[in-house]
């Protein structure tokens, strides 16, 4: 699903509190029934939108270590 600038303006973009400040970050914005994700270095660039349930499942997988790159 693609979002328009009007859609993404409804959400408040934020970075992780664990962001290291090296420019290698993504930002997320909660929308009505989805979460938008963008590159923090290119805020006007492409955005990915994920359904709220899919985002929650992704976060649970991350917390469980299923996406560790080691």
The per-residue pLDDT for 37 is: 92
Q: CB-based burial of residue 39 (10 Å sphere; 0-12 exposed, 13-18 middle, 19+ buried)? A: middle
The per-residue pLDDT for 6 is: 41
Q: Which residue has the higher pLDDT, 5 or 16?
A: 16
The per-residue pLDDT for 5 is: 43
Query: What would the pLDDT profile of 8-60 be if each residue is shown by its tens digit?
Result: 556 799 987 777 777 778 899 999 899 999 998 888 899 999 999 999 999 99
For the chain, the structural domain boundaries read 5-63
The per-residue pLDDT for 16 is: 76
The per-residue pLDDT for 10 is: 63
């Amino acid at each position: 699903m693609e979002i328009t600038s009007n859609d993404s303006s409804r959400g408040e973009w934020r970075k992780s509190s664990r962001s290291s400040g090296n420019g290698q970050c993504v930002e997320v914005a909660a929308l009505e029934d989805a979460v938008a994700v963008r590159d923090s270095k290119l805020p006007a660039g492409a955005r990915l939108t994920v359904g709220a349930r899919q985002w929650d499942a992704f976060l649970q997988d991350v917390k469980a270590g299923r996406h560790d790159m080691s």
